[in-house]
Amino acid sequence: MTFLADLFYIAKQMKRGELLGSLEHIILLALARLDGNAHGMIVRREIEERTGRNISIGAVYATLERLEAKGYVSSSTGDPTPERGGRAKRLFRVEAAGNRALQISGQTIRSMTADLKGRWETI
Amino acid sequence: MSCYSPPAFACRLFQTVLPVPYQGALLGDLIEEYTLRAESTSPSAATRWFWGQACRSIPFIVGSSFRTGDWLISASAATGVYVVMGMIKFAADFMITKLVAPEQTAYIVLAPIVFLAITSIGGYAAARIRCGTPIFLAFIVMITVGVLIAVKACSVPVPWWYQFGFLTLGPLSVLLTPVLFGVLKPRSEESTT
């Protein structure tokens, strides 16, 4: 019953297009973990360290750009440094809409995996 | 200040040919990580990593350009350059066949040279006009040559590698000329493409 109630809640809360893709979900989570300002390579490194996925920096920036267009993250320009060939960092942070999307995605996953734990333990 | 410098060719590829979102930031990230890796492992391993990242990023960068609609401007600029290239090629062909070398054998020898010169100039001009344009121009050149081969536009019998050369070297010269010459389009706000 709780499971059904959760599903109805999620369907009601989540507007069309608000579902996060797997990479979007992981990158938003990484940004949330990094707590505020983080640039692309830090996000990439965080994902690699935690999940073992060696994703390309192009994929990270393309996803961050998509998330920014959706209003889930915002970005600001840092100062240029010599270590970066005089190029400025683009710092990203999760916005309220991004936190809400993460919350909804988390609820969806929890609801969908609620009764599966026992099954995984037997495998 | 580090004494390690990332592969210049790969950097130029990012700066000139590809419609990269947040181009400056992305390249800065790559350079920063390259330096760290060169110090912790070896410069050759860091170079391999840099190239790996650059190559694996290309599909995402092009895909991102399609999503944002940025590609329309680049594709329009590429079409404009292609039209000018077509007119130059037409004029060059006319001059070769009527004035310089009327016999077919001479035309077969001269045609690839003229073609590669025009595609190289086109690639250079495209990169000067707008970052990301050469990749669309290369695509247009490849499609056109492919269609011309398919409809057997060449009346003279030529070996397969001759046509294959046009199909591969044409788009490659469009892409590589701006990279080799290090064409850098000045950008007022390079990080927010």
pLDDT score at A95: 93
Whether residue A6 lies inside any domain: the answer is no
In which domain, by residue range, is A111 found? 18-122
For the entire predicted model, the pTM comes to 0.71
Q: Does B35 touch chain A (CB under 8 A)?
A: yes
- Joined together, the tokens standing for residue A82 give 């010599």
Whether residue A11 lies inside any domain: the answer is no
Contact A91, A78 (CB under 8 A): yes
The residues that bridge with A94 in the sheet, in sequence order, are: A73
Rounded to a whole number, what is the distance in Å from the CA of B45 to chain A's nearest CA? 16
* In chain B, domain spans: 8-68, 70-180
> Which residues in A have their CB inside 8 Å of a CB on B?
39-41, 44-45, 56-59, 61-62, 64-66, 69, 75, 77, 80-85, 87-90
State the average pLDDT over residues B142-150: 91
Q: Which residue of A has its CA nearest to B56?
A: A56
Q: Which residue of A has its CA nearest to B35?
A: A83
Contact B157, B175 (CB under 8 A): no
Alpha carbons B45 and A19: distance in angstroms, whole number: 38
Whether residue A12 lies inside any domain: the answer is no
Closest CA to B112 of B75, B140, B150, B154: B154
Residue A63 pLDDT > 80, yes or no?
A: yes
What single-letter DSSP state applies at residue B182? T
Q: Does B61 touch chain A (CB under 8 A)?
A: yes
Question: What is the rounded (10 degree) CA torsion for A78, B67, B142, B16?
Answer: -10
Task: Please write the tens of the pLDDT for every residue from B79-101.
Answer: 999 999 999 988 988 888 787 77
Q: Does B62 touch chain A (CB under 8 A)?
A: no
- The beta-carbon contacts of B113-116 under 8 Å, at least 24 apart in sequence, are B114/B89, B115/B89, B115/B166, B115/B170, B116/B169, B116/B170, B116/B173
Which residues of chain A make contact with B59, given a CB cutoff of 8 A? 58
ipTM: 0.75
Task: Report the number of distinct structural domains present in chain A.
Answer: 1
Contact B192, B22 (CB under 8 A): yes
B38 vs B16, higher pLDDT? B38
State the average pLDDT over residues B67-78: 82
Whether residue A13 lies inside any domain: the answer is no
The CATH number of whichever domain residue A23 belongs to comes to: 1.10.10.10
B56 vs B20, higher pLDDT? B56
Residue A64 pLDDT > 60, yes or no?
A: yes
Task: Please write the tens of the pLDDT for every residue from A82-115.
Answer: 888 888 889 999 999 999 999 999 888 888 888 7
Contact B35, A83 (CB under 8 A): yes
